[in-house]
Amino acid sequence: MKELITSQPFLLTLEVSVISLILQFIIGIPLGIYIAGKSTVFRRITEIVVTLPMIFPPMALGFFLILLLGKNGWIGGFLFNTFNFKIIFTFWGVLVAVFIVGLPFMVKSVQTARQQLDQNIVEAAQTLGKSHLVILYRVILPNITGGITTGLLLAFGRSVGEVGISLMLGGNIIGRTETLSLAIYNSVYEGDFAKAAELSVLLSVMAIIVIVISNKSIIFKTKNN
């Protein structure tokens, strides 16, 4: 088990999951708060696009992302021709994959927490002449910390177990873009069931830790309320 923790798949999984978690935190909070606002056509479209990875087949989504981010794609082609920067079959492809699959959990958790927030608190701050920025940092964010924490934990849990889109964008290159989940698949394919079992236990332990922390955060929030 010690060797597995220092192996490339574990370190890669941990690295991309942590980086994507930071990005999900930065992007997910404003997106969730925005979607939680008064319903408009643009808000509904934004919610559909953000939520899509939760229900769309991973392999199909991965294929469409290849068309978009590949050398001949709109974004991938521009980055490659302008900066010689390649996304597909690299570390960045894996990062994009885990970010995309985890973001909806972050956004939906923040959205739900914001919608459940007592609007009277926000209106009271408005009557006191507080600016939108002050209300956001002094009223809204402190009162949706439970949703933010839950979103981060769910996003992290989803990211570490990602397979389909990572396979498409990262290419499952052993020693370079092989994550824990893909390492399990490769071990089974090669007939090394002992290694597959050890990796599965390691991934399961990470998932259990996320569940325990998530449950504790929910209990703590309930007690405070």
* pLDDT at site 130: 83
What average pLDDT score do residues 48-57 get?
91
If DSSP codes are grouped into helix, strand and coil, which group holds residue 197? Answer: helix
Q: For residue range 14-52, what is the model confidence (pLDDT) as tens digits? A: 899 999 999 999 999 999 999 998 889 999 999 999 999
**Helix intervals (H) in the chain:** 2-5, 8-35, 41-55, 58-69, 74-83, 91-116, 119-127, 132-135, 141-143, 145-160, 164-170, 180-190, 193-224
Structural domains in the chain, CATH included, are 2-224 (1.10.3720.10)
Q: What is the mean pLDDT of residues 69-78?
A: 92
- Measure the CA dihedral 165/205/190/15, to 10°: 50
| 42 vs 218 pLDDT, higher one | 42
Distance between CA atoms of 103 and 87, rounded to whole angstroms? 19
Instruction: Let me know: does 35 contact 50? Beta carbons within 8 Å.
Output: yes
Task: Determine how many CB atoms are found less than 10 A away from the CB of residue 145.
Answer: 13
Pick the closest to residue 32 from 177, 144, 183 (CA basis): 144
pLDDT digit string, tens, across residues 81-131: 999 999 999 999 999 999 999 999 999 999 999 999 988 888 888 888 888
